[in-house]
């Protein structure tokens, strides 16, 4: 018999969001691997959990990982938790889960709270298709480059951000995405001071600038994607322009220049140019 590794979601703020199944698992496993044992101790005290805990994060050495894997191989079950929310969503766990799965051992999800899902569910922005980009880079130059790489993304964009960087991030967003792009800032989700700011990027930037309280706590940024062009790029005119440009410049440059000439979206024209080259 071998044990199972449980990936257990914990509350992002409100203890009432803890799933009963998650409580049962944490009570019954042989060991809990926690991102920060001190922070998780509050959760354990609240639910009367006495299970032994060890610290685990993605910078843990192989010795810690091997200890957990050996326990599983000996038939013991282990639960992985992060400080809050679902493990592996911008939280530790990837290395451990990969190694456990590579060993042919069972990994069991115990679903629950997740800040990005909570935020987009109440944002009012399109939720049928979205991408999660985690935390933007800390340095402005790298952050701007990151934003530029998704500037023409049609899907709703979701980011996490630290409170001490939220003003800089919103400023860079205005510069890259434009001040009119719609955004929702979800702060301190499920906690006492939960707040939501919504509107254009410029409007929300001003609100955060003027209210120091909006520069505190854990923050999720939900950003509107590029609105699809009302024009159909699959037209004779777009094809004609692209055909001329593709004889002279690279595919990427052709899409960029064609966008300026025709008014179509660059990524739509890039896809069309790609089909013409094939």
Given a cut of 70, whether residue 173 has pLDDT beyond it is yes
Position 114 confidence tier, pLDDT thresholds 50, 70, 90: very high
Given a cut of 80, whether residue 126 has pLDDT beyond it is yes
- Please tell me which residue, 90 or 5, carries the higher pLDDT value: 5
Given a cut of 80, whether residue 267 has pLDDT beyond it is no
Given a cut of 90, whether residue 141 has pLDDT beyond it is yes
- Distance between CA atoms of residues 278 and 274, nearest Å: 7
The mean pLDDT value for 114-123 works out to: 97
Determine the pLDDT at residue 210: 95
How does strand 78-81 pair with strand 4-8? Answer: parallel
- Please tell me which residue, 1 or 13, carries the higher pLDDT value: 13
Q: Which position has the token pair 């024009």?
A: 231
Q: What is the 3-state secondary structure (H, E, C) of 89-134?
A: CCCCCHHHHHHHHHCCCEEEEECCCCHHHHHHHCCCCCCCCEEECC
Determine the pLDDT at residue 230: 44
Given a cut of 70, whether residue 72 has pLDDT beyond it is yes
């Amino acid at each position: 018999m071998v044990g199972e590794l449980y990936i257990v979601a914990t509350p992002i703020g409100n203890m009432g969001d803890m799933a009963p199944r998650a409580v049962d698992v944490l009570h019954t496993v042989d060991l809990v691997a926690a991102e920060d044992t001190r922070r998780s101790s509050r959760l354990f005290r609240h639910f009367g959990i006495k299970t032994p805990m060890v610290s685990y994060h993605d910078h843990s050495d192989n010795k810690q990982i091997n200890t957990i894997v050996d326990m599983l191989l000996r038939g013991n079950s282990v639960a992985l938790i992060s400080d809050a929310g679902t493990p592996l969503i911008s939280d530790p766990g990837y290395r451990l889960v990969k190694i456990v799965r590579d060993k042919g051992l069972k990994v069991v999800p115990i679903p629950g709270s997740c800040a990005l899902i909570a935020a987009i569910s109440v944002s009012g922005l399109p939720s049928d298709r979205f991408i999660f980009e985690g935390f933007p880079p800390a340095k402005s130059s790298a952050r701007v480059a990151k934003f530029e790489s998704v500037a023409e993304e049609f899907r709703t964009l979701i980011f996490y951000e630290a409170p001490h960087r939220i003003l800089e991030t919103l400023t860079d967003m205005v510069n890259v995405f434009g001040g009119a792009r719609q955004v929702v800032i979800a702060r301190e989700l499920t906690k006492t001071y939960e707040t939501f700011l919504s509107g254009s990027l410029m409007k929300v930037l001003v609100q955060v600038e003027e209210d120091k309280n909006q520069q505190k706590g854990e923050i999720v940024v939900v950003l509107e994607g590029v609105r699809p062009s009302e024009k159909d790029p699959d037209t004779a005119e777009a094809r004609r322009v692209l055909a001329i440009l593709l004889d002279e410049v690279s595919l990427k440059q052709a899409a960029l220049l064609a966008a300026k000439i025709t008014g179509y979206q660059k990524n739509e024209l890039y896809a069309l140019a790609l089909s013409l080259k094939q």
